[in-house]
Structures are given as C-alpha cells and as structure tokens.
Structure 1
Amino acid sequence: MRDGLADTVAAYVDQGLPHDHAVRRAVREFGTVEELVPSCQRELTVAQVRHTARSVALTAPLLVVCWYLLIVGHGGRLPSLAWWLVLPPAGVAAGATLLAAATLTTTGALARRLPTPHRLPTATAWAGTAAGAATGLSALALAVSSPLAANWPLVALAGVLAAVFHTVVAASARVCRRCVRAG
C-alpha cells in the first residue's frame, strides 16, 4: 500500500502539483481507513494463519522426537499410563500437522491461482489451538514421567522442549483466533 501511495504521489508531482497537495490528493483517492481496513485485515489474517500453520508444521514433528526421548528414557518400555498420555496428543499433533501442510500449500503458491477457502483460517486457528494443547499435555506427561525414567535428564530435556513448543504454538494460535474474529 505504501508503495502504491508513494507512486501516486510521485505521479501527481510529475504532473506539476506541489508535493503537499499531491500527498493530500493521493491519500484522499486511496480511501478512508474504514474503506481500507477490511482488505488489510484479510491479508493480515492470512499472514497470521500461515505463521500458525508454519509453527504447527515445524513443532509437531519435533514433538515426536520428545516422545522418542521419553521411550528411550524408560528403556524402551513405557508404563501403560504413559502410553495413554502420549497417544492422544500424538493423534492431535498428526492431524494438525496435515492441516498445517494443507494451509501452507493453499495460502502459498496456490493462492495466486485459487482463492483461500473461507473456513481455512478458522480451521487453522483451532487446529493450532489443539496442537498447542497437545504439546502442553506432552510437556506435562514428560515432566511427570521424568523422575521415573532411568535416563531422567533426557526425559526432562524433552519436557522442556515440549513446553517451549507449547508456548510457540499456543501463542500463535491465540493471535490467529483473534485475527479470524476481527476479519
């Protein structure tokens, strides 16, 4: 927008208008804030949706590494309760990762050829929320099981990583939900 406004001002100056008048005329032609906000909000929402999808796509697979460290820390055998703490977040993270990949594809290169599906921003925001909850549950499971692990520092490190992943994904999903509501 700034470049378009600057080009318009330059064109008016080239036509002989004084710079101050050219600026005022270009701003008047560009539209009011109320007219411009909807198109800007849509672009900002898509940018935040891409950010959330990228954070999910990058952190959810790394969560698998944390779970692997949990299994290794327990000598390859997890108590049955630990499996119940690992499997549901794993399914949620896998689903969120698939949606994130689809989101990045449809809002990236394909966005020039196809419109962004209407419900995709909302779905991505809530998938990010679910992935944030999954990483939070994983961090909790890793923290609780680390004292029981033979290699507890490794499991504790995995818990810290999962907590960091939770922070990144949950914060991005929260902003994404706000952008979707504002749009």
Structure 2
Amino acid sequence: MNADPVEDYLAELTSSLHGPARAKAAMLREVRDGLVDAVEAQTRFGVPPDQAARRAVRDFGTADEIAPSFQRELTIAQTRRTARAAAVTVPVLVVCQLLVHVAAGDPDWRLGALAAHLAAVATASGLLAVTALLATGPLTRLLPTPHRLPSVVAWTASAAAVGMALAAVVLGVTSALSTDWPLTGFAGVLAIAAHGVVAASARDCRECARAGER
C-alpha cells in the first residue's frame, strides 16, 4: 500500500511537538484541515490525489521548518498551564498553614517552622503564577515573552513541588507525634495533592522548554 503523504507528515510533526494535549490536538487538526483543503483544491483541477498530497505537503513547509514556531506556541500554553496550577495550590497551602497553626497551640517550634515553610512556598507559587500569567498574557501586547521564562517557570514550579513534598513528609511524621493528629494529617493529605498537581505540570513544562530550545 502507498503511504499517505499527509498522514506521514502529520505523524512526523506530532512526534516533534510537545505541549498540552488539547492545544496540540487543535493545532494538528488545523494543519490537517489545511492540507486536506489544499489536496481537494488540486484534485478538482485533475491532479492525481497522491501527487496533490505531495504538493500540499511541500508547499506547506517541512516539519523541521514549521515545528519551531508551533513548539513556541505550545510551550507558552504549557507555561500558562503550569502557572495556573501553581495559583490553584496557593489556597491549599494557606489552608495547610492555618491547620498547622491551630495544631501548634502549645506552641511547638517545629510546627511553627513548618507553617513558615508552607507560607514561603505559597508566596513563591503565587508570585510565579502572577508573573508568568502576566508575561504570557496582557504584557505580550507591549513586550515579547522572555525566551527563558518557560524554563524559569518550570524549575520554580519544580522547587515549589519539592517544598510541598517535604512539607507532606514532615506533616506525616508530626501527625504521629501530635495530639492534634487529625489536623496535621489532613494538612499532609492536602500538601500531597498540591504536590501532585504542580509536579506533573512542572515536568511537562520542563519538557516543552527543552523542546523549544533545540
């Protein structure tokens, strides 16, 4: 069976792009629709379908030529997604901090230090989210998006995720020793959930940033 030039082209482009699944699927769907329209336009003039498909692909540009611009768009989309994930975790971390404060009524310096750690991670996540969303949103009308921003967002989010994981471990240990173990245990579960959300998005953002720098 003869290979379909359009499908081969889309497969090559798919393998070279990294980013949010929905945004990537929409992008590839637009490419497919454009190529199909080009093929149909040529076949109406009597060009054989296989030849028309090869011409459409050639005129569109090679995957190596167009992938960088597509990847930049996907990287920005993933950067915004990671920033939003960080923003969502701020309230969760604030709740964890309040629960720890309640549990530290004796007071316990270890819980106090943990509360300060949670506050620092929440602040970092909030600043990350606001800065990234502004830099990839309204400010793009005035200034270009900084080239290194996706990497900065990815690694800052990774650091925040590590901070959440450490907090979850400490909360787990503390809950076994604290008289208010339901509060610290619940805070630990929240910290684990926040870690999972941010860590997954940060990993995807790092992959997009590396792809965009190639």
Which residue does 1:140 correspond to in 2?
Answer: 169
Q: How does 1:10-21 map to 2 (within 5 A)?
A: 10-21=40-51
Equivalent of residue 164 in structure 1, options 172, 193, 200: 193
The answer to whether residue 210 in structure 2 is matched with residue 181 in structure 1 is yes
Per the TM alignment, residue 65 of structure 1 is displaced from its structure 2 partner at its CA by 0.5
Which residue does 1:38 correspond to in 2?
Answer: 68
The answer to whether residue 155 in structure 2 is matched with residue 129 in structure 1 is no
Partners in 2 of 1:26 and 1:176 — Cα distance?
Answer: 32
Question: Is the contact between residue 146 and residue 156 of structure 1 (CA under 8 Å) also seen in structure 2?
Answer: yes
Q: How does 1:58-97 map to 2 (within 5 A)?
A: 58-74=88-104, 76-97=105-126
Question: Is the contact between residue 143 and residue 155 of structure 1 (CA under 8 Å) also seen in structure 2?
Answer: yes
Question: Is the contact between residue 135 and residue 162 of structure 1 (CA under 8 Å) also seen in structure 2?
Answer: yes
Residues 101-136 of structure 1: CA distance to partner in whole angstroms, max 9, x if unpaired?
221222235445642111211110111012101211
Equivalent of residue 147 in structure 2, options 113, 118, 137: 118
Structure with more contact order per residue of length (Cα contacts < 8 Å, sep ≥ 6): 1
Question: Is the contact between residue 86 and residue 138 of structure 1 (CA under 8 Å) also seen in structure 2?
Answer: no
For structure 2, the residue ranges without an aligned partner over 5 or more in a row are: 1-30
Residues 151-183 of structure 1: CA distance to partner in whole angstroms, max 9, x if unpaired?
322321210111121122122212212221221
Question: Is the contact between residue 82 and residue 141 of structure 1 (CA under 8 Å) also seen in structure 2?
Answer: no
Question: Is the contact between residue 97 and residue 118 of structure 2 (CA under 8 Å) also seen in structure 1?
Answer: no
% identity of equivalent residues = 52
Change (3 A) 1:108 1:170: same
Which residue does 1:55 correspond to in 2?
Answer: 85
Partners in 1 of 2:211 and 2:42 — Cα distance?
Answer: 35
For structure 1, the residue ranges without an aligned partner over 5 or more in a row are: none
Question: Is the contact between residue 82 and residue 154 of structure 2 (CA under 8 Å) also seen in structure 1?
Answer: yes
Residues 43-62 of structure 1: CA distance to partner in whole angstroms, max 9, x if unpaired?
22212211211111111331
Change (3 A) 1:154 1:174: same
Question: Is the contact between residue 86 and residue 141 of structure 1 (CA under 8 Å) also seen in structure 2?
Answer: no
TM-score by length of 1: 0.85
Which residue does 1:101 correspond to in 2?
Answer: 130
Residues 57-90 of structure 1: CA distance to partner in whole angstroms, max 9, x if unpaired?
111331110121222234x344112222331342
Change (3 A) 1:167 1:179: same
SS of the aligned residue for 2:86 comes to: helix
Partners in 2 of 1:176 and 1:78 — Cα distance?
Answer: 40
Partners in 2 of 1:79 and 1:110 — Cα distance?
Answer: 45
